Structure 1
């Protein structure tokens, strides 16, 4: 009978992120991750296909949160307002994960292969969002444009959030970024600009 391993998945993810931050992604092995977590390599592979997937394991859940909020939005809501609901739902997945998200972002930014995987994740989310908008009756190219705009807002707000020294309100940053997008796409309006000393 196998030994009970409480929260093995979480322990492995934490150990991996620590090692990637300390030594670099390329220099870290699965054996080292398992050892740091107090588990075996076999246990690692029960939870993750490879050491890269530790960083992307939550992608499916994040996409599901986003898409579900869009699908369940009121039928009368405009596409941009539906997008706001999706962004708000996605932001809740990161509550109390600021430091973890910062470390993860630093690891990904330092590795071209991981950057490519992150772009694939965002493209997958955009495609799923566009599909959901089309199912709601949003025609093309509006569905794809809205989905791509949503990913741009998500990315910019997220990067602003992790750049901060302390955890702020990601949902607020998402709404502010979406408001900026609305401003630049509305005739006769300019985006808000932070006042500068002259």
Structure 2
């Protein structure tokens, strides 16, 4: 069965974006949905919207984010990130990336890298999907259990409301919990809150 991947390409050059998209779409054994981002201004909003499996991004795009910060801001903690390189690049620019793609890579090399990263992601999903929440997700669970609104949570944790909603969706998926009362039970059992905290709220 072929793998299905949602990929976002963030690259200022239209020629490189379209060339990479054409190459990706012709890789055998992979079903790929591709979205393109040309400017840093639309990057975070587009990632929130598309929730890709893989981000292929030029690390030289001017911006003030790191990859961990970008994953946090966009509610895409499991997104894998490829650095798209034209030349040898300073390691400090690429140390947070999961892998690198060179514009000189062959189709076979590109397919191998995508499959390897996708296999790692699938292994991680099998092992971790029902397990521990991230630190940020735990913070949001505590806020929800205390009766805070999405807006209040966003203000408390310095996030956008959209990011809070995305985190809540991920929490519900991971825990298979879809009500505040069930979430409260989870929070108490896992010692995220004390019973007295809930009564105060």
Q: Write 1 or 2 for the structure with the bigger share of strand.
A: 2
| RCO comparison, higher one (Cα < 8 Å, 6+) | 1
Fold match, TM over 0.5?
no
Higher helix share: 1
The alignment's TM-score, normalised by the length of structure 1, stands at: 0.28
